[in-house]
Amino acid sequence: MAALNLDEAEVGRARRAAARIAVDTLSQIEGKTTVAVERAVLRLLGVEGMTPEGVPWANRIVDDLLARGLLDRGAAAWFVRTLVSRGDSPAETAKHMALEGLDDEALPEVEPGELRDRMCSLAREGLDRVDRSRGEREERLARLGRGPEPLRYLIVATGDIHEDVVQARAAARGGADIIAVIRHTAQSLLDYVPEDGGIQGVGGTIANRENFRVMREALDEVSEELGRYVFLTNYCSGLCMPEMAVLGAQERLDVMLNDSMYGVIFRDINMVRTFIDQHFSRALLARAGMMINTGEDNYLTTSDAFQKAHTVLASQFINEQFALLSGLEPGQIGLGHAFEISPKVEDSFLHELAQAQMVRQIFADCPVKYMPPTKYMTGNIFQGNVQNALFNAVSVLTNQTVHLLGMPTEAIHTPHVHDRHLSLENVDYVFRAMQHLGEEIAFRPGGRIETRARKVLADAVAMLEEVAGTGLMEAISQAMFADIARTRVGGKGLEGVVEKAEDYCNPVGDLLKEERTAS
């Protein structure tokens, strides 16, 4: 489809304002760490396992350090000092610290140079595991290839990983390219990762290492059967965001849902903690070669999609800049948007087309993820199927990268296998029927579609420049995103934010930053 005539100077203004916002926000969190970051570092250094009561060793160690005011030096320093003094392996050291605690007064000091060398050595071993997973993904993709764009993204959500596997295999055989496993309801509010792979989830499946492994193995098998690589998605959000990044990177997930503001706005997680956690998690996901998906589509569940379209675009610019500063390449930044204007609005299809083309055009190098209608799905499956067909049409016309299938049974129940089959039939028909339509038509200069896109862009620029002036945290407190206000000192998890001491060290973060700088 011919490009919209957008004002490139306005696009440049938006990016510059978003860059100022991201840099300013990161400068405010530079001197802080979180319990989740420290747990993630320990996991990369080799800390795995749980107590007889089911508490992950990483939690037990970090909670002990936090309670005694020792976490400000970084969990890695205490872990490696203990390892050196005992002469144990990382596994034995982790077990000792988790089950017997740390006697910091009796622990001998280690020469700073040696301490850093040992920390960095263990961190490199942890990152080597991430690199091996990335290498295996790249080998499989090169050998098997992947489906054509838009990639069909389909959700499974039974609460049982083995039932999820059945649905995932059926979906892949029906044409799905990306399988997303919905996480257990409210798992984002747990400040630990449930380690027991047999735990039954509610409204979704427990996200943990074992369940990541089970689904990845199943999708590898079906990928070989089909002769194309099937991608796996799960969540890298909530109070355990950095740890989810570690587990996803190690177990070769391909895509992780990771937004800079979703947890703050929709889960009331403290914003300072969220920005710290997302920066570290994105740096690790960048190293793992994974794609992130942001969550701007959620704004439209609380805000009007027509009146507040510019807030989605503004957030996309901000998410892009945060991601770039974390080391993600544009090809890893899957920005989200959605088909959510009320069907009762005249020319709603034209407005949706304008929004989709504008986003696809502005973020041309990013694998944009396009979300289906949900807010105005009523339970009328026939009307819902029509709404999804129009959504499918916009997606193929505007060459979206990732297309999340809409379900005709949205607003009725968690979709069954046959609901997914109907959705795949719908999208296959529309994509096939309109495959090259976009090459045959152009936008009328000054027409409704172009005028709408230019207005949304102008409004987003004005908003971004206002946020750059006030600061992002203050803008969130003023309910500028999704019409929901949160405060800097409110929300869940603030007690897990720690000021760094002068001799604080995060060997994983340091290595990732050094490599970003060197490249």
Active site residues: 262, 297, 369
What is the Cα–Cα distance from 89 to 92, expressed in whole angstroms?
Answer: 5
Q: Tell whether omega for the bond before 148 is within 30 degrees of 0, i.e. cis.
A: no
Rounded Cα gap, residues 163 and 205, in angstroms: 10
Q: Tell me the DSSP string of 122-134.
A: HHHHHHHHHHHHH
CA gap 255, 332 in Å, rounded: 9
Helices and strands (H, E) in the chain, number of each type = 19, 11
Question: Alpha-carbon distance 383 to 343, whole Å?
Answer: 10
- Phi and psi at residue 117, to the nearest 5°: -60, -45
How far apart (Å, rounded) are the C-alpha atoms in residues 64 and 82? Answer: 14
* Beta bridge pairs of residue 293: 257, 334
Taking the C-alpha atoms of residue 84 and residue 68, their distance in angstroms, rounded to an integer, is: 21
What CA–CA distance (Å, rounded) separates 370 from 348?
16
Q: Residue 402 is inside which H or E element, if any? A: strand 402-404
Helices (H), 30-160: 35-44, 57-67, 75-86, 90-100, 112-144
- CA angle, 99 then 102 then 105, to 5°: 155
Q: What distance in Å separates the CA atoms of residue 1 and residue 354, rounded to the nearest whole number?
A: 12
Question: Measuring CA to CA, how many Å separate 323 from each of 249, 272, 326, 493?
Answer: 17, 17, 5, 22
Per-residue tokens: 347: 């020319």
The residue count of the chain comes to: 519
Q: What is the 3-state secondary structure of 171-212?
A: HHHCCCCEEEECECCCHHHCCCCCCCCCCCCCCCECCCHHHH
Structure tokens belonging to residue 328: 């993600």
Check residue 367 and give left, alpha or beta (phi > 0: left; psi -120 to 50: alpha): beta
3-state secondary structure 235-259: ECCHHHHHHHHHHHHHCCCCEEECC
Q: Are 293 and 334 in contact (CB under 8 A)?
A: yes
